[in-house]
């Protein structure tokens, strides 16, 4: 504790803090200009991508609500994607386990860990696609049918 107090009260510490703050401030002023130039473009691209994806999603819901065969396809696709996700997770876990057990060549252990990470990421992607199919099916089931609306009005 005494050493920490001595370090904090030393001149060397305060000069280091001042120089580091000055360097960070200068770097930040250069980065702010770049961020101000790049971030609006990224935001506009993200907004257009989000609008495109939401319209595709609404189109998929409309298409599935009018076709029982398409709903069956989505249910089968969801099941196959769940199986693929679990398969990728298991393979990724095996690669992680093998990478942890292997001690002699470090590069091989790291390579096995990276392959395990790739399988895990692939499993996450499959799981996300499966959840999209499930969400479309849920929205179709919640969406009132046109014939039900006519019956309720009479």
Asked whether the beta carbons of 90 and 135 are under 8 A apart, the reply is no
pLDDT at 145: 61
Question: Beta-carbon neighbour count of residue 127 at 10 Å?
Answer: 17
> For each of the chain's 154 residues, which pLDDT tens digit applies?
778 777 777 888 888 888 999 999 988 888 888 888 888 898 999 999 999 999 998 998 888 888 889 899 999 999 999 999 999 999 999 999 988 888 778 888 889 999 999 999 999 999 999 999 999 999 988 876 654 454 344 4
Distances (CA, A) of 114 to 48, 74, 85, 106, 107: 33, 32, 18, 12, 10
pLDDT at 146: 54
Q: pTM above the 0.75 mark?
A: no
How far apart (Å, rounded) are the C-alpha atoms in residues 153 and 84? Answer: 45
Question: For residues 63-102, b (16+ Cβ closer than 10 Å) or e, as one string?
Answer: ebbeeeeebeebeebbeebbebbeebbebbeebbeebeee
- Terminal CA-CA length for the chain: 82
| Contacting residues for 112 by C-beta, under 8 A, at least 6 apart | 95, 96, 98, 99, 102
């Amino acid at each position: 504790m005494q050493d920490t107090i001595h370090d904090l009260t030393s001149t060397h510490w305060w000069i280091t803090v001042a120089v580091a703050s000055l360097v960070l401030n200068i770097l930040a002023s250069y980065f702010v200009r770049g961020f101000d130039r790049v971030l609006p473009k990224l935001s506009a691209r993200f907004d257009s991508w989000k609008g495109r994806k939401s319209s595709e999603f609404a189109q998929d819901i409309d298409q599935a609500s009018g076709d029982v065969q398409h709903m069956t396809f989505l249910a089968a696709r969801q099941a196959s994607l769940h199986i693929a996700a679990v398969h990728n997770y298991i393979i990724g876990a095996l690669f992680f386990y093998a990478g942890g057990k292997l001690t002699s060549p470090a590069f091989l252990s790291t390579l096995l860990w990276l392959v395990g990470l790739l399988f895990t990421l692939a499993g996450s992607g499959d799981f996300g696609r499966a959840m999209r199919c499930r969400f479309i099916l849920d929205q179709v089931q919640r969406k009132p049918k046109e014939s039900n609306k006519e019956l309720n009005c009479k």
